[in-house]
Amino acid sequence: MTRIFSGIKPTGHLTLGNYLGAIRQWAEVDQHRAESLFSIVDLHALTVDHDPGRVRRLSRQAATLLLASGIDPGLATVFVQSHVDEHARLSYLLECVATDGEMRRMIQYKEKSARERARGGSVRLSLLTYPALMAADILAYGTDEVPVGDDQTQHVELTRDLAVRFNQRYGQTFVVPRATPPKVAARVMDLQDPTSKMGKSHEAGGSIVYLLDEPEVVRKKILRAVTDSGSEVVYDRAARPGVSNLLEILAACRGGNPEALSGAYESYGALKSDTADAVVELLRPVQERHKELMAEPAYVEEVLRRGAEQARAMAKPTVDGAYRAIGL
């Protein structure tokens, strides 16, 4: 059976980008067709400035939201990365097959380290080696497919390179995985700066729709979204990034394709209003279920405990095998 692994970082509140680019596909499609593991990758949250208590709180919140989004612990394994030692154990071996040059080429490293330096801060070494840990997350489970948004495909490519290199050097050990981004909304853009992605770690909350935003807040943010000069509603990502982003969000919520939808609108105002309604409708059931689950924290803890146990049992043979293959 196909095996799927994907993760989400507890670095902030989950966004509409996380939902449309990843979680929805995990819940609606992936867990039903493949053996799936979904991890709250908390070790990755330590690569940037963080507050320890907050990482823990956000991990529980992310787990609750995954369950509220329809991920069924009877079908998929949901767990917290740091509960399974195999990730860190394997990451070190992969750092020993990777080169610093290939790590430095990663777009996310370049962007995040530049931002950190611009703020006068220092860059943690783990931000550079992040892709080795991500590769370990994936390879430890013999993963075939990694459903991630567009922003992560470069890291999955590197994971493939490391798997192939390790196999060539030390003998067949890892399955070589591939990224499977969603067909629509693989890159939801920021509402105020539609040339950069809607990311939960950005600070300007007004430009990001969070999964737990109240309906009025969602409406306000979408109605205030930056649109492009001109007034015609056309789908053109390069020339009209703002309007195209709204069309993509609307298409992802309601089905259909953004280009076809553009014909139905004569003004930006009508498009924004319909997009806001569609997002509110999309989030409503997730928010309702989240409220119910918030009353059952012991249930969420139990799901995570069992998830870690299952994940450990799957990862250990592969990671032990990698140590043996290297001759340790």
Residue 227 in contact with residue 268, Cβ under 8 Å? Answer: yes
Q: Which of 197, 219, 240, 290 binds ligand ADP (CB under 6 A)?
A: 197
Q: What count of Cα atoms within 13 Å lies in the side-chain half-sphere of residue 232? A: 6
- Does 152 sit near ligand ADP (CB under 6 A)? yes
- Only one of the segments 3-11, 116-124, 136-144, 302-310 lies at the binding site for ligand ADP (rule: CB under 6 A); that segment is 3-11
Annotated binding residue at 190?
Answer: no
Query: In the complex, what is the shortest distance from the CB of residue 250 to ligand ADP, in angstroms, rounded to a whole number?
Result: 15
Which residues have CB under 8 Å from 159's CB, separation 6+?
Answer: 131, 134, 135, 138, 139, 146, 177
Active site (annotated) includes residue 272: no
- Does 162 sit near ligand ADP (CB under 6 A)? no
Q: How far is CA 301 from CA 50, 306, 316, 317, in A?
A: 22, 9, 22, 25
- Give the separation between CA 111 and CA 155, rounded to whole angstroms: 14
Q: Which of 126, 154, 167, 201 binds ligand ADP (CB under 6 A)?
A: 201
- Give the separation between CA 79 and CA 306, rounded to whole angstroms: 8
- Does 208 sit near ligand ADP (CB under 6 A)? no
CA angle (51, 56, 60) in 5-degree steps: 140
Strand positions, DSSP E, 86-161? 145-146
- Residue 149 or 177: the one with the smaller Cβ distance to ligand ADP is 149
Which amino acid is located at 138 in the chain?
A: I
- Does 149 sit near ligand ADP (CB under 6 A)? yes
Out of 112, 221, 272, 291, which one is annotated catalytic?
Answer: 112
Q: Which of 21, 242, 258, 307 binds ligand ADP (CB under 6 A)?
A: 21
- Residue 153 or 167: the one with the smaller Cβ distance to ligand ADP is 153
- Residue 25 or 227: the one with the smaller Cβ distance to ligand ADP is 25
Q: Which of 4, 5, 22, 303 binds ligand ADP (CB under 6 A)?
A: 22
Whose CA is closest to 43, among 93, 91, 101, 99?
91
Residue 270 in contact with residue 234, Cβ under 8 Å? Answer: no
Q: Which of 199, 241, 242, 307 binds ligand ADP (CB under 6 A)?
A: 199
Applying CB under 6 A, the residues found at the interface with ligand ADP are 6, 8-9, 11, 15, 17-18, 21-22, 148-149, 151-152, 186-188, 197-201
Active site residues per annotation: 112, 197, 200
Binding-site residue ranges: 9-11, 17-18, 137, 149-151, 188, 197-201
